[in-house]
Amino acid sequence: MDLFPIFQELMQASESKILLVVLDGVGGLPLELGGPTELEAARTPNLDRLAEESALGLLTPVYPGLAPGSGPGHLALFGYDPFRFLVGRGALSALGLGADFREGDVALRGNFATLAPDGTVLDRRAGRPSTEENRRVVARLQEAIPRLEDVEVHFYTESEHRFLVVLRGEGLSDAVTDTDPQKAGLKPLPARALEAGAERTARLVGLLSERIREVLRDEPKLNGALFRGASKRPSFPSMGEVYGLRAAAIASYPMYKGLASLVGMEVLPVEGEGDAHEGKLRTLRENWDRYDFFYLHFKKTDAKGEDGDFWGKVGEIERFDALLPELLALGPTVLALTGDHSTPAALKAHSWHPVPLLLKAPYLRRDEARRFTEGEALKGSLGHLRGVELMPLLLAHAGRLAKYGA
């Protein structure tokens, strides 16, 4: 059901401020039966105090049983049905990087990888190189592979092991499969056409993978590439049009900037490398009076989960807890804290498990939850929500929705 016309009809002005904080991949699992999850193992005195005066619940970002990518997970949090509003990872990276990404282009999100002599993937992230090392290798590729046949090839550094390729030429299609096998010990997958007319693009992606391996054969770690998320440039209604919000995004990684810009948020600049907590807080403080809605993203909880680093993820949760008082000092009318999906260190991957949701806002019903953890969230008065149900709840608590019906 398309609820956007309903929101447009019911929207009303308010001086309220909404702050949505997304701890990427925050949901977890115990390392052994009966043990704590990452959230349960973390020492979080500030989150504990906040939980006592907030309402909690569980949130399934996309659909029960589906392990979502960050794209659909975030779009759902923003209120966009991820089964209706589809976008590939490549387009999100291109938009977030501000790449020259035109109508008809196809964007591919790439991972630099370490490949064995037989082509088997040893490390899908090539040891997480520095962004500077990434730039050096991208420059090599741009010089060596400016074209494939009659198609222009444009390379961009994203961060660490992540990079972007934009293909420009006639008759390109984004209906091609990923080459990333999603685990070590396997060979990269062949790109396949998903529909008639995409065969040429699939062949070009395969040729690109071969050429990259040839050019980088002397690199000790960054000697191959895995591609996913082939996509053309989409067009979505903006949050201003749908909700009447002046919305801003504060994130460090290009993909999340791309997601935000796709739904009409203004992406604010952040000083500092990586997950730059202090830079994000500074940007939030300096722009607090200019916007109605802020999306604030933290990535490292997800990265540590994907690395299988349970205690590293615990440390990132504790790192966020330490800066929470500065967020609360700004006095948001409505504060929501959740994740776009779970990334348990035990699985080293995104999973289908619900994530905890914390809501601090006027007119809450108190509950028995006392910590921001998966188990405590089960006691919460918010119940169990789908991702797309979050935005209406935030708007209602912020006084931005009129009564529906007579």
Q: To which H or E segment does residue 323 belong?
A: helix 310-329
Q: What is the rounded distance in angstroms from the CA atom of residue 280 to the CA atom of residue 256?
A: 14
Helices vs. strands in the chain: H and E counts, helices first: 14, 14
* Residue 229: strand, helix, or coil: strand
Q: What is the pTM of this model?
A: 0.82
In sign, the C-alpha dihedral spanning 103, 109, 112, 118 is negative
Q: What is the rounded distance in angstroms from the CA atom of residue 211 to the CA atom of residue 148?
A: 9
- What are the strands, taking DSSP E only, across 54-169? 55-60, 106-115, 121-123, 147-148, 151-159, 162-168
Q: What is the rounded distance in angstroms from the CA atom of residue 83 to the CA atom of residue 274?
A: 31
Q: Which fold has domain 92-231?
A: Alpha-Beta Plaits (3.30.70)
Looking at 120-253, list the stretches that DSSP marks H as alpha helix, in order from N- to C-terminal side.
131-144, 199-215, 239-243
Q: To which H or E segment does residue 302 belong?
A: helix 300-306
- Which amino acid, 62? V
Name the maximum alpha-carbon separation found in the chain. 71
Q: Structural domain boundaries of the chain?
A: 4-87+236-397, 92-231
Q: Which fold has domain 4-87+236-397?
A: Alkaline Phosphatase, subunit A (3.40.720)
Q: What is the rounded distance in angstroms from the CA atom of residue 70 to the CA atom of residue 89?
A: 9
Q: Check for a shared fold between 4-87+236-397 and 92-231.
A: no
Q: What is the DSSP string of 255-299?
A: HHHHHHHHTTPEEPP--SSTT-HHHHHHHHHHTGGG-SEEEEEE-
Q: For residue 89, count CB atoms less than 10 angstroms from its CB and return exposed for 0-12, middle for 13-18, buried for 19 or more.
A: buried
| Beta-bridge mates of residue 247 | 293
Q: What is the rounded distance in angstroms from the CA atom of residue 44 to the CA atom of residue 249?
A: 25
Q: What is the rounded distance in angstroms from the CA atom of residue 246 to the CA atom of residue 204?
A: 41
pLDDT tens sequence for the chain (406 residues): 789 999 999 999 999 999 999 999 999 999 999 999 999 999 999 999 999 999 999 999 999 999 999 999 999 999 999 999 988 889 988 988 989 999 999 999 999 999 999 999 999 999 999 999 999 999 999 999 999 999 999 999 998 999 999 999 999 999 999 999 999 999 999 999 999 999 999 999 999 999 999 999 999 999 999 999 999 988 899 999 999 999 999 999 888 998 999 999 999 999 876 678 999 999 999 999 999 999 999 999 999 999 999 999 999 999 999 999 999 999 999 999 999 999 999 999 999 999 999 999 999 988 999 999 999 999 999 999 999 999 999 999 999 999 999 8
